[in-house]
Amino acid sequence: MQTITILGATGSIGQSTLDVVARHPDDFRVFAITGHRQVELLVKQAKACHARYLVVASDDDYEQALTLARQYELSSEVLSGKRALEEVASAPEVDAVMASIVGAAGLEPTLAAVKAGKRVLLANKESLVMSGALFIDAAKQSGAEILPIDSEHNAIFQCLPADFEYGNLAASGISKILLTGSGGPFRERELATFAEITPEQACAHPNWDMGRKISVDSATMMNKGLEFIEACWLFGLAPDDIQVVLHPQSTIHSMVQYIDGSVIAQLGNPDMRTPIAYGLGYPRRINAGVAPLDFATLKDLSFSTPDQNRFPNLYLAIDACRSGQSATTRLNAANEIAVDAFLNNRIGFTRIAQINEEVLNRFEPTAVSSIQQVLELDKQARMVALALVEEG
Ligand code: NAD
Ligand code: MG
């Protein structure tokens, strides 16, 4: 029996996690679930999974949460605020934490779980992109086990040898990590029409059903860029160790290429419950409720290289990865502001990458040695990005 906390339970990953957990009532006990804004959904979830604590991220939502908790005759205790998020992520009773808050808001609660030495099921890629070495060092110090939930990194994890040594590809006879991505909804759209793209079009991913921020990131391929950086930190890779491969069907979730000519791939239907179940059950395999791949009806698998003109954000992120921590922290912050502005119809689709690039160009790379500094860099980059949004 594992006791778990789900940070960001009301989101796409959070809901899929609760779905897998509900299939295994004898294996998992829910300690706490957290959410932001969708209070009624959170209360219903707490009721269904018998969470001991329900946490709303903002104190503004506390009264509403209490009222609804009474209305639903909830037995969970209701808490609110940033500190409470960190507490339920690090409480001694908790074995594993699903880190599935979106964006920089996930950094501190995820780090609290890492520092407390939990098994951390990492979906919140932004926290690792923002804090890189600090995050990994904190895990080494506390003994926290980081299990990748992002489907590509989960696939790579599954394709690596069991005795893989962090950062040492040569020792395992690995020549390349092949990071696959579908190319999103605009892989073939006429480039001249990109300025007219609407939030609804950008959020309509052909293969995956996800939250709005990551959906836009998938459409610009910033998501693949963030994943490139995420892979470097998770496995100790250098940028040259990774090749990004377009694979529109999202059947292969990533691959590891070995020096003897072998390539090991992980395949499956595009359903996040597979990597989530892998993380929850690890090292055991548990039922995820995912339909098996049907090789009788499987369509062609195709591959190509992403075009730089179509996906400038991907290449900005790879450059930032080469530049170092301060650049990736700033890029992540700028991108969050730009994507939010796009989703609120304040800027056009092509402006996202322009703002990201302009923010990066405003600053010189600096060494990063504390989380305090990460938060400061994040704040500065957001201010510059917001000013650029104002300009339109
Ligand atoms: P989502 O928008 O559906 O859900 C986000 C969750 O975070 C919600 O529970 C929301 O209440 C919470 N949240 C939002 N703002 C918050 C704040 N300020 N403070 C505290 N909580 C806040 O997002 P998602 O698609 O589930 O993605 C979650 C994370 O997982 C992201 O980092 C994303 O990149 C990653 N991820 C998602 C998928 C996917 O298929 N959805 C796949 C791989 C990785
Ligand atoms: Mg992914």
160-200 pLDDT per residue, tens: 999 999 999 999 999 999 999 999 999 999 999 999 999 99
Nearest ligand 1 atom, CA 272: 40
Last residue of some domain: 281, 311, 340?
281
Q: Judge whether residue 151 has pLDDT over 90.
A: yes
| Domain housing 360 | 324-391
Distances (CA, A) of 152 to 24, 129, 157, 231, 237: 25, 15, 9, 9, 15
Distance between CA 36 and CA 23 in Å, rounded? 25
Please report which confidence band the pLDDT of residue 220 belongs to, taking 50, 70 and 90 as the band edges: very high
| Whether residues 7 and 140 fall in one domain | yes
Does the pLDDT of residue 104 top 90, yes or no? yes
Q: Using the 3D structure, point to which of 227, 261, 281 is the last residue of a domain.
A: 281
**Where are the extended beta strands (E) located within 123-251?**
145-148, 174-181, 242-246
pLDDT 10s digits, 354-385: 999 999 999 999 999 999 999 999 999 999 99
Whether 289 is in a domain gets the answer no
Could you give the ipTM of this predicted complex? 0.99
Question: Do 246 and 181 form a contact (C-beta atoms < 8 A)?
Answer: yes
Burial class (CB in 10 A: 0-12, 13-18, 19+), 264: middle
Tell me 241's DSSP state: G
> Residue 254 pLDDT more than 90?
yes
Segment 220-226 mean pLDDT: 98
What pLDDT score was predicted for residue 299?
82
What span, in angstroms and rounded, lies between the C-alpha atoms of 150 and 113?
A: 18
In a domain, 178, yes or no: yes
Q: Is 83 annotated as a binding residue?
A: no
Q: What angle do CA 295, 296, 299 make, to 5 degrees?
A: 70
Is the Cβ atom of 130 under 6 angstroms away from ligand 1?
A: no
Domain boundary residue, one of 248, 281, 314: 281
Q: Residue 71: what pLDDT? A: 98
Bridge partners, 56 (sequence order): 35, 80
The residue type of 332 is N
Q: How far apart are alpha carbons 259 and 10 in whole angstroms?
A: 43
Annotated binding residue at 87?
A: no
Q: Quick check: CB of 62 below 6 Å from ligand 1?
A: no
Give the model's pLDDT for residue 378.
Answer: 98
Do 335 and 359 lie in one domain? The reply is yes
More confident residue, 27 or 206: 27
Tokens 């923002």, residue? Answer: 130
256 with 359, same domain? no
- Whether 98 has a pLDDT exceeding 90, the answer reads yes
pLDDT tens, position by position, 113-142:
999 999 999 999 999 999 999 999 999 999
pLDDT over 70, % of the chain? 100
Are 116 and 164 found together in one domain?
no
Q: Which of 20, 55, 101, 343 to mutate to test the pocket of ligand 1 (most atoms within 8 A of CB)?
A: 101
pLDDT of residue 27: 98
Q: What is the pLDDT of residue 392?
A: 82
Query: Please, are residues 219 and 200 in contact by the beta-carbon 8 Å criterion?
Result: no
What is the number of structural domains in the chain? 3
What confidence tier does 387 reach under pLDDT thresholds 50, 70, 90? very high
For the chain, what is the mean pLDDT? 97
Q: Is 123 a pocket residue for ligand 1 (Cβ < 6 Å)? A: yes
Q: What is the pLDDT of residue 41?
A: 98
pLDDT beyond 90 at 339: yes
Whether 53 and 117 share a structural domain:
yes
Contact assessment for residue 288 and residue 272, using Cβ atoms and an 8 Å cutoff: no
Q: Is 78 a domain residue?
A: yes
- Calculate how far, in angstroms, residue 335's C-alpha sits from the geometric centre of ligand 2: 17
47 is in an annotated binding site: no
Bridge-based pairing state of the strands 242-246 and 263-267? unpaired
Nearest residue (by CA) to ligand 1, atom 17, is: 105
For residue 328, give the CATH number of its domain. 1.10.1740.10
